[in-house]
Structure 1
Amino acid sequence: MHIHQLYRYPVKSLGGQSVASLQPEIRGFADDRRWMFIEPNGQFISRRAVPTMCEFAAEVHDDELCFVRISDGSILGAVAGARNGEKQVDVTVWDDSLTATLIEDAGIPAIATGLGIPGARLVYMTSEDHRPVDARFAKDGEEVSFADGFPYLVTSTASLDDLSGRVGENLDERRFRPNIIVKNDVPFDEDNWTGLKIGTHRFRLPKPCARCIMITQEPDTGARNLRVLAELSAYRKVGNKVMFGMNACWEGGVDHVKVGDPVSVEDR
């Protein structure tokens, strides 16, 4: 097995970047979901409520955060010094409350309006802002960014191919918002993985990922295909949850993780 693809999503709920190599960190890959748009009261804004957010992606270039319209590659706007801010604000991500740094840039109101979230504010998670992984599944010291619950999401090519065959179309891997896609041959073998070695890095896989209505959304247009969730529910339901992919935490390693790196199962 080897790494087929790597993704990071700089801004929560916006499209991400396919990147040849990424630096793992305790909270996820560097620059993965470190920014987030919030309501004036600090509540996070998600494409669950604003599906048109999927039409845009965020890219990091040095210290600039760039917002791109996916359909034609046009630039909606950019924020220079996107990691710099002086004001701390309280934010809420699901049941978690924490502080984050408010990014105050003259271009943000226009960007927010273009994204369909007028009045939204942009925040950044610095090294001083802490959000623990759910204590039911965490080891001491494990943290997560603004992602829904865990620092990493691992999927496999064989599982996607299996689901695509049942749905009757080649499903875009991006609809599942993975960080690490493993090239393999056995569908849903990842259900049995509890530890992976990727290059010099080790990842712990504490639980499967429960999926929601967002996986029915075409990544570039927002068009819904409800059959994706229906087909997955037919054979991947555990209790009242539908599973696809594995949540993961980083347990150390040196240098970057790269597309093509060998992947081995350390624990099952």
Structure 2
Amino acid sequence: MAGPGGLSPLWVPPLTTSRLAWFCAAAAASLGLGVAAAAWRWQRGRARRRLLQVGTVSGLFIYPVKSCRAVAVNRAEVTELGLRSGDTRDRCWTVIKEGGYMLSAKEEPRLVLVSVTCEHGYLTLNAPEMKALRIPVELPRTNSVWNCRRFGIHAQGRDCGDEAAQWITSFLNSKPYRLVHYEPNMVTRKPRDFLPSFQPTDEVIYAEASPILLISEASLEDLNTRLEKKIAIANFRPNIFVTGCGPYDEDHWTDILIGTVELKGRMSCPRCLITTVDPDTGVMDRNEPLKTLKSYRKCDSSEQHAFKSDPPFGWCYGVDKTGVVQVGDPVYKIIR
């Protein structure tokens, strides 16, 4: 039935080309305003936070092979899995024993004597009285893939071959071991599976728990005033070493910004017997600095289930925003 003026109640004017263009422009403008408003709100939220400089990066360390010596670098990419400089990635090789169980210097202290370089497509291992071993980063696809276990959680790794296995076994003068390498898209480990302070998004390859461990020079200096024999930072194996702050200030840096990287503190780092391995001799005395740390460093009561009798020293961080860090970068505490 026709309405007033002879028009059907459901009739609409035909959508001409000019009218269609107008509607499209209006919709785009509306959408643009929505995006702009969301971006403004996000930027305003970031602007509300304050940055307080709390220190300066004095050292960056990558440990390509778990429990072996560090590679010091001046600049590193911070990925979700830890520090990286070219082919040199943090703890993406590990020694395993029968059943795929990952080996650490707690079981084989002499691992700390193995020095590592990673360049031109090869990992090179050196150790006292051993001929240097070169292993290609890109391994044959026919090499076996292992499930590598630590704390009941496993990651994957490709076997580096018999020559590498024989080299490691010969140097350690022990039972047969094998060396494996993590490749992109292999299974990683989720610290949240055994440490509830971490987030489901946190992941590591062969590191004990966190992709980034940070310690301040002042904390090490304070510990050394309590020790008869001073120790080096190598005993604690951090990724980021910070100067220009007070002892244990890092205990209170929940959110930090370094370079273009944002890190989120997950928990203080429980220290174990590996700290008692002399990095110059590969000998474990099972005593210091652990005994002294236990005398004055205590974990928060809420973390007792994770620490047991292990004293805290340094902080474990998750990676909220990837980017690049350099020696000399200011370390900012983010105050929200």
> Same fold per TM (> 0.5)?
yes
Q: How high is the TM-score relative to the length of structure 2?
A: 0.73
Structure-to-structure mapping, 1:236-251, within 5 angstroms: 236-238=297-299, 239=304, 240-251=309-320
Following TM superposition, by how much is the alpha carbon of 1:97 offset from its aligned partner in structure 2, in angstroms? Answer: 2.2
What 5-or-longer segments of structure 1 have no aligned partner?
none
- 1:200 is matched with 260
Alpha carbons 1:6, 1:181 under 8 Å: kept: yes
- Whichever residue aligns with residue 316 of structure 2, its letter is N
- 1:57 is matched with 115
Matched, 1:48 2:106: yes
Alignment partner of 1:237: what SS? coil
Following TM superposition, by how much is the alpha carbon of 1:141 offset from its aligned partner in structure 2, in angstroms? Answer: 2.4
Percent sequence identity over matched residues?
27
Residue by residue over 1:198-229, the C-alpha shift from the partner in whole angstroms, topping out at 9 and shown as x without a partner, is 01111111100000111112112123452311
Following TM superposition, by how much is the alpha carbon of 1:185 offset from its aligned partner in structure 2, in angstroms? Answer: 2.9
What 5-or-longer segments of structure 2 have no aligned partner?
1-54
- 1:160 is matched with 220
Matched, 1:6 2:6: no
* Greater alpha carbon shift after TM alignment, 129-138 vs 45-54: 129-138
Following TM superposition, by how much is the alpha carbon of 1:150 offset from its aligned partner in structure 2, in angstroms? Answer: 0.9
CA distance in 2 between partners of 1:46 and 1:227 (Å): 18
Residue by residue over 1:160-181, the C-alpha shift from the partner in whole angstroms, topping out at 9 and shown as x without a partner, is 0000111134320010000001
Residue by residue over 1:204-263, the C-alpha shift from the partner in whole angstroms, topping out at 9 and shown as x without a partner, is 111000001111121121234523111111110235330100001111143x31111111
Matched, 1:265 2:333: yes
CA distance in 1 between partners of 2:161 and 2:328 (Å): 39
Following TM superposition, by how much is the alpha carbon of 1:58 offset from its aligned partner in structure 2, in angstroms? Answer: 2.0
CA distance in 2 between partners of 1:75 and 1:261 (Å): 38
Aligned length: 265
The structure with the largest helix share of the pair is 2
Following TM superposition, by how much is the alpha carbon of 1:118 offset from its aligned partner in structure 2, in angstroms? Answer: 4.9
CA distance in 1 between partners of 2:267 and 2:108 (Å): 28
Alignment partner of 2:226: what SS? helix
Residue by residue over 1:16-38, the C-alpha shift from the partner in whole angstroms, topping out at 9 and shown as x without a partner, is 11111111110111210000111
Residue by residue over 1:103-162, the C-alpha shift from the partner in whole angstroms, topping out at 9 and shown as x without a partner, is 225344134312434521111112222222225123342211100111111000000000
Residue by residue over 1:81-117, the C-alpha shift from the partner in whole angstroms, topping out at 9 and shown as x without a partner, is 3555443222212220233222225344134312434
Structure-to-structure mapping, 1:1-268, within 5 angstroms: 1-30=55-84, 31-69=89-127, 76-82=132-138, 85-86=141-142, 87-104=144-161, 106-129=163-186, 130-135=188-193, 136-224=196-284, 226-238=287-299, 239=304, 240-254=309-323, 256-267=324-335
Q: How high is the TM-score relative to the length of structure 1?
A: 0.90
Larger of the two Rg values belongs to structure: 2
The structure with the largest strand share of the pair is 1
Q: CA RMSD in A?
A: 2.1
Alignment partner of 1:90: what SS? strand
CA 1:266–1:234: 2 relative to 1, 3 Å: same
